Amino acid sequence: MTDLLRENVQSYPRPPALEPVPQRIRIMLGGLLIAESTRAFRVLETHHAPTYYLPPDDVSAELQPAAGTSFCEWKGNARYFDVIVGGTTAKRAAWAYDNPTERFAPLASYLAFYAGLIDEAWVGDMKVIPQPGDFYGGWVTPNLEGQIKGAPGTRHW
């Protein structure tokens, strides 16, 4: 069992922090393991569940560019991907920063996945649930405490 320390999302920093993840990260789609990494990073930001980023070499699913982009004041411009494995397609389920800001340079081309658009995600032995709402891509694990943004009425605070 991989234990995760108790963390309060309200004590995460702003601007956000970037740190390596010591646990194994696993992602399932269409009943298949599509990503597994011990080289992931996570971004910690006040009132957010951590967002996990995996090196592209640790992702086995096909990624097709999806329409649209977004801008993060901390990381820069993101582009999106449909994630495809076998006969399963998760639309716009992953994103990456090709040229992130200097502070987040280690994330260049690393991939993050929306937990609500894939079948399963795991941090060590802890199964992930999606961050509330449809905007943020954080992964909620049982060790997290505090109020997590994303639910109705929390997006802009």
53-107 pLDDT per residue, tens: 999 999 999 999 999 999 999 999 999 999 999 999 999 999 999 999 999 999 9
Number of domains in the chain: 1
Residue 49 tokens read as: 């569940």
CA–CA dist 26, 24 (Å, integer)? 7
pLDDT above 50 (res 1): no
Examine the pLDDT at 155 and tell me if it is beyond 70. no
Cα angle 94, 19, 73 (rounded to 5 degrees) comes to 60
1-10, 22-31, 51-60, 136-145: segment of lowest average pLDDT: 1-10
Residue 48 in domain: yes
pTM over 0.85? The answer is yes
Strand partners, 122: 26, 127
Name the average pLDDT for the chain.
Answer: 94
Q: Using CA atoms, how far apart are residues 3 and 125, in angstroms rounded to an integer?
A: 8
Rounded Cα distance, 76 and 70, in Å:
8
CATH number of the domain within which 134 lies = 2.170.150.40
What is the pLDDT, as a whole number, of residue 77? 95
Asked whether residue 78 is domain-assigned, the answer is yes
> Does residue 150 lie in a domain region?
no
Q: Is residue 30 part of a domain?
A: yes
pLDDT at residue 2, rounded to an integer: 54
Q: Confirm whether 86 is domain-assigned.
A: yes
Could you tell me the residue range of the domain that residue 93 belongs to?
Answer: 7-145
CB burial readout 85-116, b (16+ within 10 A) else e: beeeebeebbbbbeebeeebeebeebbbbbbb
Q: What is the pLDDT of residue 136?
A: 84
Reported as type and span, the H/E element at residue 72 is strand 62-72
CA–chain centroid gap for 9, Å, is 15
Is residue 102 one of the residues assigned to a domain? yes
Asked if the structure places residue 1 within a domain, the reply is: no
Let me know if residue 155 belongs to a domain: no
